[in-house]
Chains A and B, each alone.
Chain A
Amino acid sequence: MPHADPVTLPAEVMPALQGAIPATIVTCALDGEPNATTVSQVHYVDRNHVALSFQFFSKTIRNVRENPYAAVQVINPVDFSVWLFDLRYDHSETEGPLFDDMDMKLEAIASMTGMSDVFKLRGADVYEVLAVRKAPWRRT
């Protein structure tokens, strides 16, 4: 465990985890090749865990299963403050309350756009939040 005391996500960051503004995630393959991509939402799980939806096989999904560390930038849509997370991929859930919650939200959107058959949640990838800090800049 890199930290004896687990971090706690501050209340201020919560609006950033509603999916209003896409987040950016950076991972790294075992061979050291980095990958940055956009995800529609970083889900709040508990005070030191977040989850990303696993809908399609992507570089990110593959990378974190080889090398669990990831860096994420989320933006609070209220004040446009930028938050930086250090994450470590922990596990992927395919059932349970978290999966259901994410699945429902995905289904709600998909069903409104005729994409129910495409937008299927394969898993809820749960990451431990190793560190969270507010960036000294704002999104312009």
Chain B
Amino acid sequence: MNDSGDSATEPGSLRALILDNQRVIDDLNARVQRRDREVRIIQQISSEINATLDLDQMLGLILDSLDRVLGFKHCMILLADEKLAQLSVAAMRGYKDQQTRTIVQVGQGPIGVAARRRRVVRMAAMGTQLGYAAAVRGEMGQEQTQIKLPGLADVQSQMALPLIVKERLVGVLAVESAAPSAFDELDELLLSIVANQCAAAIDNARLYLGEQERSELLDRTNRDLQHLNDTLESKVRDRTAELTQAFADLERRKRQHEELLAHMAPVDLIPLMVEGRLQASRLTATVMFTDLSGFTAFSAGMEPDEVFAHLNHYFAWLGDVTSRYRGYVNKTMGDGTMILFGVPVASPSHATDAVVAALTLQANAASTISLAMRIGISSGVITAGMLGPRNKSMYDILGETVNLAQRMEGSAPLGGIVVTPATAELIQPYFVTEALPDLEIKGLSRRASFRVIGMRTLKDDPRRFDPSSRFAEMVTPLQAEIEAFKAQHLSRVNFISVQARDGAFYHNETVAILALALQRELGRQDRLSASTSDIDEQAVIRLALVHDLGKRAIDPRRLNERGLSEEDRTSLRADLESHTIETLAQLEFDSMAEAVRALYRFEAQQQPHAVFDALTTIVGIADIFDALVAPKFYKGAPWTVRGALEEVARMPIMLGEQRGFLNVFAELMRPASVSLTMARADVPKPIID
């Protein structure tokens, strides 16, 4: 027995009673003082907490105050992650090893339970209770497992206070002690007040932090925007460059694509092919077959690549020539080729184009491949479309016209061009042909054929002048003179190529011949009458030869359109004039521009009293006359010589000063049987009886 020996508990002694009372009073005073002191401390902590918004600093401050001022030596603050249902140690004080960031699951231990229940958990004698629980667990045959929680290893007392703001758990404040019963209700009361402050402060700090983060985000966004603004221009530039590049790539690929397709079909058809709209169609066209004579023997001793090189050189040249005359090399068969004219786009010049191309080929074959060619030509209706198996289809044509062209080629002499009657009829106004003996053609009836001799020049074209006229005597030497002039001064101009566009074959030469004839006749009469000036013959010939070279730059379809309106005709003539002047500049004949302009003004002149110089008048009369008598694709039968002379005489321009020139021209050109009334320039009358 161990008596406490406390005399104060013994009644009866007054002194003892007084002492006892005094002790109670002291005790009460002490408790009142502690409370007072603690309330002041809490106020101090509270104001310190509220003075800072930095979370780490603030949590440190709280724990510091708990230790320093309230005497809680081991304390920690955990912050809640509601989504993960766990708490993480944010600040600790009074521990040897830092355990910040240690995780406590909600519901685990006093801290976890305080978080789950949102109530203060005040534990004492935890060691005993843990031992008791462990014992029960042991009795149940289960393994001992003690979950590692942050804090003292030998914890006996622990108080965990939930930190709650607006019904939201922000964390847990925990104090610990190794003493079995370290915390009482007063501690709980005190810490509850601190916890409330702490919770509010953490919330504020978090809000502030969030606000700061938002503010930083805003700042960053603003900076990014500013940067974007600053670099927008260059970005747009870069993007534009990218797009331009992409577009160029696309264009390049499209071109490659089209180039590939161009191996299969004429360029004009590629858009239709790409869109899948190419349909077979029936056309009136001209088909030409060519063949190289003796190529097999020629290439017998050659290496394969040499053979191919020769042939490809030949085909390249052949392609160039034919494409100049709107031909399309549709296929090659060995050294032979099949070339289409007026396909796929219908053209009024298909037959003449083919013949001009054939003549050009024959004229240059020897110098190109030193072998003779045979050429066969046929005109008529053909059917055109894509032909062949899916993976090897190409643009092709069918029809009797095709077979005939091949037969013509087979029957052609070396270096010759043989055409069917249909082609011969189409080209007859422009080319000289001769009939060949009828051919026996397998599977077809007997066929007539014609050999193309060459282009019909003026002296071989009695429709453009009257054989009984004085001019007929002059034509041959004049033509030779003009040809010589061409060869000497205008060898760079391929007149046939220009003329083939609208069928004005030999027009330039004819104008030159007629103008030269007129000019000389005028000179002769001048000498007789000893009146007018001398005119430069060379200027007349040159102007006559080049006056319409601008045609080379104009779409043949436009040149060959029938029945042009007055407006379209005027616009066409304006274009012709400007293109001609451009061409002259290329030929370095710039000095002729003014003469060309005067000629175009002369031909469009509607005023009878306009006056033009002799050069313009002479070439103008010759040009208008040949335009009337020469055959053209777009017109029907040409004018007769007499009709043409009458027509020219009716032009307003011919009623004035120029009438004298026309009278001399008419006298030169008139058929011997027709007498003309030589009217005065100022007395406009028909010149024909």
> Which residues of A come within 8 Å of B, CB atoms?
14-15, 18-22, 40-41, 77-78, 81, 100-101, 104-105, 107-116, 118-119, 136-138, 140
Report how far A81 CA is from B145 CA in the complex, Å.
34
Chain A CB within 8 A of B2 CB: yes
Chain A CB within 8 A of B125 CB: yes
Determine how close the nearest CB of chain B comes to the CB of A99; give it in whole angstroms: 12
Chain A CB within 8 A of B128 CB: yes
Does the CB pair A112–B149 fall under 8 Å?
Answer: yes
Report how far A139 CA is from B453 CA in the complex, Å.
150
Task: Provide the residues of chain A in CB contact with B121, threshold 8 Å.
Answer: 104-105, 108
Report how far A112 CA is from B123 CA in the complex, Å.
13
Tell me whether A15 and B4 are in contact in the complex, defined as CB-CB below 8 angstroms, given that A77-B125, A105-B123 are known contacts: no
Task: Provide the residues of chain A in CB contact with B84, threshold 8 Å.
Answer: none
Task: Provide the residues of chain B in CB contact with A109, threshold 8 Å.
Answer: 123, 126, 129-130, 133
Task: Provide the residues of chain A in CB contact with B134, threshold 8 Å.
Answer: 113
Does the CB pair A136–B3 fall under 8 Å?
Answer: yes
- B129 closest partner in A (C-beta): A109
Tell me whether A114 and B145 are in contact in the complex, defined as CB-CB below 8 angstroms, given that A18-B181, A136-B1, A136-B3 are known contacts: yes
Task: Provide the residues of chain A in CB contact with B142, threshold 8 Å.
Answer: 114
Determine how close the nearest CB of chain A comes to the CB of B516; give it in whole angstroms: 126
Task: Provide the residues of chain B in CB contact with A114, threshold 8 Å.
Answer: 137, 142, 145-147
Does the CB pair B181–A77 fall under 8 Å?
Answer: yes
Does the CB pair B129–A100 fall under 8 Å?
Answer: no
Task: Provide the residues of chain A in CB contact with B1, threshold 8 Å.
Answer: 136-138
Q: Which of the candidate stretches B50-58, B112-120, B328-336 sits at the interface with the other chain?
A: B112-120
Chain A CB within 8 A of B184 CB: yes
Report how far A15 CA is from B578 CA in the complex, Å.
122
Report how far A110 CA is from B108 CA in the complex, Å.
9
Does the CB pair A115–B137 fall under 8 Å?
Answer: yes
Report how far A41 CA is from B110 CA in the complex, Å.
17
Report how far A124 CA is from B130 CA in the complex, Å.
20
Task: Provide the residues of chain A in CB contact with B652, threshold 8 Å.
Answer: none
Chain A CB within 8 A of B124 CB: yes
> Which residues of B come within 8 Å of A, CB atoms?
1-4, 107-110, 112-114, 117, 119, 121-126, 128-130, 132-134, 136-137, 140, 142, 144-147, 149, 156, 160, 180-181, 184
Which residue of the partner chain, among A40, A41, A113, A137, contacts B2 with CB atoms under 8 Å?
Answer: A137
Report how far A111 CA is from B147 CA in the complex, Å.
8
Task: Provide the residues of chain B in CB contact with A41, threshold 8 Å.
Answer: 125, 129
Known contacts A112-B147, A113-B134; 11 further A-B pairs (Cβ under 8 A): A20-B124, A77-B181, A78-B181, A100-B117, A104-B114, A104-B121, A111-B112, A111-B147, A115-B133, A116-B107, A136-B3
Task: Provide the residues of chain B in CB contact with A111, threshold 8 Å.
Answer: 107-109, 112-113, 147
Task: Provide the residues of chain B in CB contact with A100, threshold 8 Å.
Answer: 117, 119
Which residue of the partner chain, among A20, A113, A116, contacts B125 with CB atoms under 8 Å?
Answer: A20
Report how far A110 CA is from B134 CA in the complex, Å.
9
Tell me whether A20 and B181 are in contact in the complex, defined as CB-CB below 8 angstroms, given that A108-B121, A114-B137 are known contacts: yes
Determine how close the nearest CB of chain B comes to the CB of A75; give it in whole angstroms: 11
Task: Provide the residues of chain A in CB contact with B3, threshold 8 Å.
Answer: 136
Tell me whether A113 and B126 are in contact in the complex, defined as CB-CB below 8 angstroms, given that A14-B184, A104-B119 are known contacts: no
Which residue of the partner chain, among B110, B126, B140, contacts A118 with CB atoms under 8 Å?
Answer: B140
Which residue of the partner chain, among B119, B145, B181, contacts A15 with CB atoms under 8 Å?
Answer: B181
Determine how close the nearest CB of chain B comes to the CB of A19; give it in whole angstroms: 5
Report how far A2 CA is from B673 CA in the complex, Å.
174
Tell me whether A112 and B180 are in contact in the complex, defined as CB-CB below 8 angstroms, given that A18-B125, A118-B136, A137-B1 are known contacts: no
Task: Provide the residues of chain B in CB contact with A138, threshold 8 Å.
Answer: 1-2
Does the CB pair B133–A113 fall under 8 Å?
Answer: yes
Report how far A14 CA is from B180 CA in the complex, Å.
13
17 pairs, A vs B, C-beta closer than 8 Å: A18-B181, A19-B125, A19-B128, A20-B156, A20-B180, A22-B128, A81-B4, A100-B117, A104-B121, A105-B121, A111-B113, A114-B142, A114-B145, A115-B137, A118-B137, A137-B2, A138-B1
Task: Provide the residues of chain A in CB contact with B144, threshold 8 Å.
Answer: 113
Report how far A108 CA is from B121 CA in the complex, Å.
8
Does the CB pair B124–A112 fall under 8 Å?
Answer: no
Determine how close the nearest CB of chain B comes to the CB of A60; give it in whole angstroms: 16
Report how far A21 CA is from B2 CA in the complex, Å.
19
Task: Provide the residues of chain B in CB contact with A21, threshold 8 Å.
Answer: 125, 128
- A109 closest partner in B (C-beta): B129
Task: Provide the residues of chain B in CB contact with A136, threshold 8 Å.
Answer: 1, 3
Task: Provide the residues of chain A in CB contact with B140, threshold 8 Å.
Answer: 118
Report how far A119 CA is from B125 CA in the complex, Å.
17
Report how far A116 CA is from B132 CA in the complex, Å.
14
Report how far A55 CA is from B180 CA in the complex, Å.
23
Determine how close the nearest CB of chain B comes to the CB of A12; give it in whole angstroms: 10
Task: Provide the residues of chain A in CB contact with B123, threshold 8 Å.
Answer: 105, 108-109
Does the CB pair B128–A112 fall under 8 Å?
Answer: no
Task: Provide the residues of chain A in CB contact with B113, threshold 8 Å.
Answer: 104, 107-108, 111
Determine how close the nearest CB of chain A comes to the CB of B477; give it in whole angstroms: 131
- A19 closest partner in B (C-beta): B125
Report how far A137 CA is from B136 CA in the complex, Å.
31
- A18 closest partner in B (C-beta): B124
- B107 closest partner in A (C-beta): A111
Report how far A113 CA is from B125 CA in the complex, Å.
15
Report how far A130 CA is from B210 CA in the complex, Å.
58
Task: Provide the residues of chain A in CB contact with B156, threshold 8 Å.
Answer: 20
Report how far A104 CA is from B160 CA in the complex, Å.
11
Report how far A103 CA is from B12 CA in the complex, Å.
46
- B148 closest partner in A (C-beta): A112
Does the CB pair A113–B124 fall under 8 Å?
Answer: no
Tell me whether A119 and B133 are in contact in the complex, defined as CB-CB below 8 angstroms, given that A20-B128, A114-B147 are known contacts: yes
Report how far A119 CA is from B142 CA in the complex, Å.
14
Report how far A109 CA is from B111 CA in the complex, Å.
11
Report how far A136 CA is from B180 CA in the complex, Å.
24
Does the CB pair A40–B107 fall under 8 Å?
Answer: no
Task: Provide the residues of chain B in CB contact with A110, threshold 8 Å.
Answer: 133
Determine how close the nearest CB of chain A comes to the CB of B79; give it in whole angstroms: 20
Task: Provide the residues of chain B in CB contact with A22, threshold 8 Å.
Answer: 128, 132
Report how far A72 CA is from B119 CA in the complex, Å.
30
Determine how close the nearest CB of chain A comes to the CB of B565; give it in whole angstroms: 104
- B182 closest partner in A (C-beta): A18
Does the CB pair A19–B124 fall under 8 Å?
Answer: yes
Report how far A1 CA is from B108 CA in the complex, Å.
43
Task: Provide the residues of chain A in CB contact with B145, threshold 8 Å.
Answer: 113-114
Determine how close the nearest CB of chain A comes to the CB of B426; give it in whole angstroms: 110
Determine how close the nearest CB of chain B comes to the CB of A25; give it in whole angstroms: 15
Task: Provide the residues of chain A in CB contact with B149, threshold 8 Å.
Answer: 112
Tell me whether A40 and B132 are in contact in the complex, defined as CB-CB below 8 angstroms, given that A108-B110, A114-B142 are known contacts: yes
- A105 closest partner in B (C-beta): B123
Task: Provide the residues of chain B in CB contact with A137, threshold 8 Å.
Answer: 1-2
Task: Provide the residues of chain A in CB contact with B122, threshold 8 Å.
Answer: 105
The interface centre, meaning the residue of B2, B3, B114 with most chain A CB atoms within 10 A of its CB, is B2
Determine how close the nearest CB of chain B comes to the CB of A114; give it in whole angstroms: 5
Determine how close the nearest CB of chain A comes to the CB of B122; give it in whole angstroms: 8
The interface centre, meaning the residue of B2, B133, B147 with most chain A CB atoms within 10 A of its CB, is B133
Report how far A111 CA is from B132 CA in the complex, Å.
13
Task: Provide the residues of chain A in CB contact with B137, threshold 8 Å.
Answer: 113-115, 118
Determine how close the nearest CB of chain B comes to the CB of A103; give it in whole angstroms: 8
- A16 closest partner in B (C-beta): B181
Task: Provide the residues of chain B in CB contact with A14, threshold 8 Å.
Answer: 184
Tell me whether A108 and B181 are in contact in the complex, defined as CB-CB below 8 angstroms, given that A18-B124, A20-B128, A115-B136 are known contacts: no
Tell me whether A108 and B128 are in contact in the complex, defined as CB-CB below 8 angstroms, given that A81-B4, A100-B117 are known contacts: no
